[in-house]
Amino acid sequence: MSSTLPLGLPNLLKFSAIDLAKFSCILAICLLTGCATQTQQIKMNESKEQFKNGDLQGSANAIESAFKDKNTLYYLEMGEVQRLQGTSQIPNSTKNLRIADQQVDQWEIDTQEKLKRSFFNTSAYFLSEGFSSDYDPKPYEITLLSQTLALNHLSQGNWSDAMVEAKKMAQREKVIEQLIQSKVSAVTQAQQEQQANPQTQGSTSRIQEISGYPINLLDDPETRSLKNSYQNPAAYYLSGFIHESQGEASLAAPGYRLAIELRPSVNFFKTSIAKLDSNIANQSKKSFADTLIIIDTGYLPKIVPQQISQSFAIGGSRKLVTLTFPVIERSTERYAPTQVQIGDKVANPELAANIEAMARKNLSDEMPGYVLRASSRALTSLAAQYAADRAAQQAANRNNHNNQNNGTAAIVGMIASMITGYSLQAINVTDVRHWSTLPAQTYMARMGLPIGANVLKFTLPSGVVQTQTINLIGGYNVVYIRMFRNKATVLVSNDPSALPVKVAPITPVAPVPNPPIEVVSAAKPTLIEAPLTTTPVEPIPNPASGKMDGVKPYEPPSLLNSFQQLFN
């Protein structure tokens, strides 16, 4: 791509020394913030092997080390790793994910306000975008947050809270759709404004015009087949299953239909909608465990910054500028489980959601904004440098015999040097942070199984067969499996070891008066001890049912950090 700057030198020379100093200072701040976020993701990428091997404690330690400031991404990463450590960590996982959920609620409000302001100052919005130390969650991550919280609630037998999360998926989808449409409109308007500006007329929003960018990584058949980057068929089906378990046919049906629309090749999706009414009508007569099996496999590829040199024409000469864009790497470890055996029954899991493709689709949708920001910043920086150089040269020529003015020319030249150092580095920073502990694919199956203890058996990517005994109750069950290379985490709904502890009420003990103590002699005291009476407390067993009324989970306070956007 090449860009030619018009001959409107007066426009370039309007930059004053103070303007240039402000510009360089702002870019320096951007550079420092961008470097901090890049370091954060580099540390997470370095710990990827630990996670793939199932070293979850090592992964948790790496997260603590990577995040000096706990933002939304920290709570997403930590909440995911904690739940995979087993049932004992589910409460801690839920606490962290709920903090992330609260921050996502605030993010929705802030983003809507930001987009409203951007239509009055779109260029400023895109110039400041991408340099916040806070984290804006990606659309598919927001959907998976609700899904993960729902699975946490199910593992503790709390189907009513899981249904709340299922409803939240649909509510947030509408907001996400509006935000994406607003961003598309904002990019279009920003490009029009950049084209009208003599300094940035050569800017573009098309990644195809950036020679050397690996477009094929965003244009594979699976990614092209997606309707958008945020609708998750597995999440929709889980939502339908949860609502069906609560007898809500009118809420279950839309979830099943959307799952079918997005993934029509999954056979049991169609069976579920066909049998929905009869399943709900006969719930009280069920003599088996209606079980949904969810298997997460693989790992999201890293998103890394890639530097690409581009040539720009300015002031009659060409300048080579190195721009940085996010690139999602190729997938290297994809695993499709062929079958899962529970007792004497075998299920063949089907691919229900391709999260990796959703991540690629999201990056593809975001690229116009990335490209427009990078090319506009490059042209603005080059124009500022050119203006500073011209101003310094003119000052020196005009006042060749004036020492004071020569000093002014030197100051202007120094400012130009600062811009050279800061601005071209600042545009070299791109935000590549992402929820890296998510799986790449989700497989599902649904089975009718015997109530009680069952032996679960499946094959891991390494070829090792893992066996585990699980307990299923009458009615609806969810068995969640997260496969790593050589091990797996298994979480089962209504698992007794994960259910919240019920505290039995303590029966007040009537005080027993102590008899008076009689002192017979000061030399020989006699102590008369009063007997203590206690009432034994009978423990209340945990009921094995689909709805548990456990202790209300602690809801942590919001830890939102408000950051002002640059150039507001």
Q: Which amino acid is at 375?
A: S
Average pLDDT in the chain:
79
- Among 147, 250, 148, 160, which residue's Cα sits nearest to residue 545? 160
Distance CA 118, CA 373 (A): 14
Q: Which residues contact 548 (CB under 8 A, 6 or more apart)?
A: 156, 157, 158, 494, 499, 500, 542
Locate 120 and state its tokens. Answer: 């009055």
pLDDT in tens, the chain (568 residues): 444 434 344 444 444 444 444 444 545 544 445 555 667 778 888 888 999 999 999 999 999 999 988 999 999 999 999 999 999 999 999 999 999 999 999 987 887 677 666 554 544 555 555 556 688 899 999 999 999 999 999 999 999 999 999 999 888 888 888 888 888 888 888 888 877 877 777 788 899 888 899 999 999 999 999 999 999 999 999 999 999 999 999 999 999 999 999 999 999 999 999 999 999 999 988 899 999 999 999 999 999 999 998 887 777 777 788 889 999 999 889 999 999 999 999 999 999 999 999 999 999 999 998 998 888 888 877 777 777 777 777 777 776 656 555 555 555 555 555 555 455 555 567 889 999 999 999 999 999 999 999 999 999 999 999 999 999 999 999 999 999 999 999 999 987 766 666 555 555 555 555 544 443 333 333 333 333 333 333 433 333 333 333 333 333 333 333 323 322 3
Looking at the chain, the whole-number percentage of residues with pLDDT higher than 90 is 49
* Cβ count near 344 (within 10 Å): 9
| pLDDT for position 501 | 60
> Residue 180, CB half-sphere, CA atoms under 13 Å: how many?
21
Do residues 71 and 134 make contact, with C-beta atoms less than 8 angstroms apart? Answer: yes
β-strand pairing of 465-472 with 441-449: unpaired
Phi, psi at residue 258, to the nearest 5°? -65, -40
Distance CA 433, CA 417 (A): 31
Structural domains of the chain ordered from first start:
9-426 (1.25.40.10)
| pLDDT for position 405 | 53
DSSP state, 532?
P
Q: Which amino acid is at 456?
A: L
Question: Which uninterrupted H or E stretch holds 352?
Answer: strand 350-354
Locate 495 and state its tokens. Answer: 């698992």
| pLDDT for position 54 | 96
Q: Which residues contact 127 (CB under 8 A, 6 or more apart)?
A: 373, 376, 377, 566, 567
